[in-house]
Structure 1
Amino acid sequence: MIARLLDTKWHIPGTGIRFGADALLSLLPAVGPVASTAVSAYLIWEARRLGVSTGLLIRMLGNLGLDALISAVPVAGSIGDVFFRANLRNMALLRRHLERRGRP
């Protein structure tokens, strides 16, 4: 739910383009990207609590790091956030991990 809010909550009418709070927060200088990254880091923290491997945590942190770099670029970062959906990628990684472990 949080990943969808950050990455794909709304859509641009007449297009298939979806965006979330991450893209909107990127428009706020300094504070927006920091807030978005903090929420994304919380998702990774929860994945750690669920017992994901160190390798998977590093992949998730890589996605978050790339997203933070994209968000740091004024205006263009918001456009990048629309197309690079780090939170949904990380939740897909977590979902696959849990399915392999037999958890829903």
Structure 2
Amino acid sequence: MTTTRIDPTIFDALPLGRDPVSVRRRIEAMERLLERSFTLPGTNRPVGLDFIVGLVPVVGDAITALMGSYIVWEARNLGLSKWQLARMMGNVGFDAALGLIPFVGDAADFFFRSNTRNLRIIRRHLDRHHPGATVIEG
């Protein structure tokens, strides 16, 4: 049987520094919270607050768009290019716009993971420009 509890280790000892390693850990924690913090029973598909809170019309999508914008703000502080930041804001905006459509937006949150896409952009940047911030995942 699959549990639907949130993983309590998501925010354990998150660093407060402005160095690339600290920023990467905070961004990864936010992405995990928004996209992969729960597992839906019967589907074994991870979902997060983006899907759950997005079920609340308008307000839920606004809240998750603000939380996704935090990831873009952290990326700006890392020095990503304007093109990368525009792509990231486009992902957040597209996700928020889809969320405004009843039922379709809820299904889209299940498949279109804007925060995961944004994390991928940030990881590529960090791997290229800050190789010391690379984390080997086991």
TM-score in terms of structure 2 length: 0.70
Q: What is residue 88 of structure 1 aligned with on the other side?
A: 116
Unaligned stretches of 5+ residues in structure 1: none
Larger Rg: 2
Alignment partners' CA distance in 2, 1:103 and 1:60: 23
| Contact 2:50-2:109 within 8 A present in 1 as well | yes
| Contact 2:58-2:99 within 8 A present in 1 as well | no
**Identity within the alignment, %:** 40
1:16-53 alpha-carbon deviations (Å, 9 max, x no partner): 42211111111112211111000111110110011001
Alignment partners' CA distance in 1, 2:96 and 2:105: 9
Larger deviation, residues 78-87 vs 66-75: 66-75
Residues matched between the structures, number: 104
Alignment partners' CA distance in 1, 2:78 and 2:44: 33
1:74 is paired with a residue of what secondary structure?
Answer: coil
Q: 1:30 aligns with which of 58, 65, 81?
A: 58
Root-mean-square deviation over aligned CA pairs: 1.2
Q: Which residues in structure 2 correspond to 1:13-52 (within 5 Å)? A: 13-52=41-80
Q: What is residue 3 of structure 1 aligned with on the other side?
A: 31
Q: Closer, same or farther in 2 for the Cα pair 1:56/1:74, shift >3 Å?
A: same
Q: Which amino acid aligns with 1:26?
A: G
Structure with the bigger percentage of helix: 1
Q: What is residue 69 of structure 1 aligned with on the other side?
A: 97
